Amino acid sequence: MLDEDGESLSRSRPVPTASTAEGVARVAALLRGGRLNVALTGAGASTESGLPDFRSKDGLWGGTDPTRVASVSAFQQDPAAFYAFYQTRLAALAGAAPNAAHRALARLESVGVLHLVVTQNVDGLHLRAGSREVVEVHGNLREARCAGCGALVSIVEMAGPLRAGALPQCGRCGGLLRPNVVLFGEVLPAAAYARAEAACRQCDVLLVVGSSLQVHPVAGLPALAVRHGAKLAIVNCDPTPCDELAEVVVRGEAGTVLPRIVEAVEGPRNETP
């Protein structure tokens, strides 16, 4: 693996996959030893809330070309397909609640060992679970944005007209409303990504949860953190391209592993990283 300057960050040792018990203890010890700890979460943090991920066989992109339903060109050229896709996502989100993984991250923040959550998710479940310091680098589905004047409004102002069979229009300029998320073909919100990148440059521990680490530029944040001296820990069901950079990799569902990390953090403090 190469860092942002093209230098090799690969390690000669094998991927440090640990048993769940060992991995939980090691992650807890790392968090307790860090002065600034950051979590980076992906779709796998929300699957246990009933929200599909993107790349699994049952994911959002299973049998669907995302550029045809979730891109700038789809919004401009085929709004019917675009809005149908987001109506489905909003309907799924309406029935979703924070799961044990979200609650565990909020608890880690409340006890002072987690200081920021950077999330690729747009579902808002980290905030609903009680996390206060959250950077949503791909936007959110709480808001809609006017494609004309850029005004931000509640997502209900987009969803309501769609349910009635009408195109959602901005009350200010008449432009079309769209979800306030990053579409294919768009860059990430500059301020949000700058905060995430700065945190990864400064953190002592980066805990990656439920991310395939395949979507750039966010996928480059773990290597950036390691290059600047951070310890990397990964909790994910499947291998990621950054596993070889990690101090510890724990295979498992986020909603199972993270509560155990909370228990270890709050328990006896005699482990060492």
Q: Which sequence positions are flagged as catalytic?
A: 138
- Exposure on the CB side of residue 84, measured as CA atoms within 13 A: 9
How far is 138 from 112, CA to CA, in rounded Å?
Answer: 26
Q: How many CB atoms lie within 10 A of CB 131?
A: 24
Contacts of 194 (CB under 8 A, 6+ apart): none
Q: What's the sign of the alpha-carbon dihedral 177, 181, 186, 189?
A: positive
- Which value, in Å, is the radius of gyration of the alpha carbons in the chain? 19
CA–CA separation, 139 and 192 (whole Å): 9
